[in-house]
């Protein structure tokens, strides 16, 4: 993903902003993140991935954000 940018769209009704922001803060050493939003989605753009397994970071990020949601 080096040089490339991947975008993940998180549904606002499912993923609260607080958890997305926390996930970004916890992953910030692994890549660059930017957060924007439209009417229904929070959009996380991931670029400059440091890790070798760059394809996984989007999936791992999504899993982590989901795990942060309080049950």
Partner 1 sequence: MSHPKTKIDLKNNEVVFWLDSKIYSLESIYNTAYVFLDRAYVFLDGDPEKEIEVHLKGKEELDGKKLEALQGEFLNELLNFLLRTKIAKRNKKIREYIIASALVSGLPNSFVSPNEDKETKAGWQDDPLGIAVPWEEKNQKPTGKKR
Region from 10-18, 24-32, 47-55 binding partner 1, contact rule CB under 8 A: 10-18
Q: What is the DSSP string of 1-58?
A: -TT-EEEEEEETTTS-HHHHHHHHHHHTTTSEEEEEE-SSEEEEEEES--SS-TTTHH
Interatomic CA distance for residues 58 and 64, integer angstroms: 10
Region from 5-13, 28-36, 47-55 binding partner 1, contact rule CB under 8 A: 5-13
The reply on whether position 17 binds partner 1 by CB under 8 A is no
Smallest gap from Cβ 10 to partner 1, in A, equals 9
The single residue among 15, 23, 27, 31 that binds partner 1, judged by CB under 8 A, is 15
């Amino acid at each position: 993903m080096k040089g490339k940018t991947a975008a993940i769209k998180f549904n606002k009704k499912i993923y609260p902003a607080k958890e997305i922001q926390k996930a970004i803060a916890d992953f910030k050493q692994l890549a660059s993140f930017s957060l924007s939003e439209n009417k229904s989605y929070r959009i996380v753009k991931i670029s400059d991935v440091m890790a070798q397994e760059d394809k996984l970071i989007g999936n791992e990020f999504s899993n982590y954000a989901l795990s942060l949601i309080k049950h």
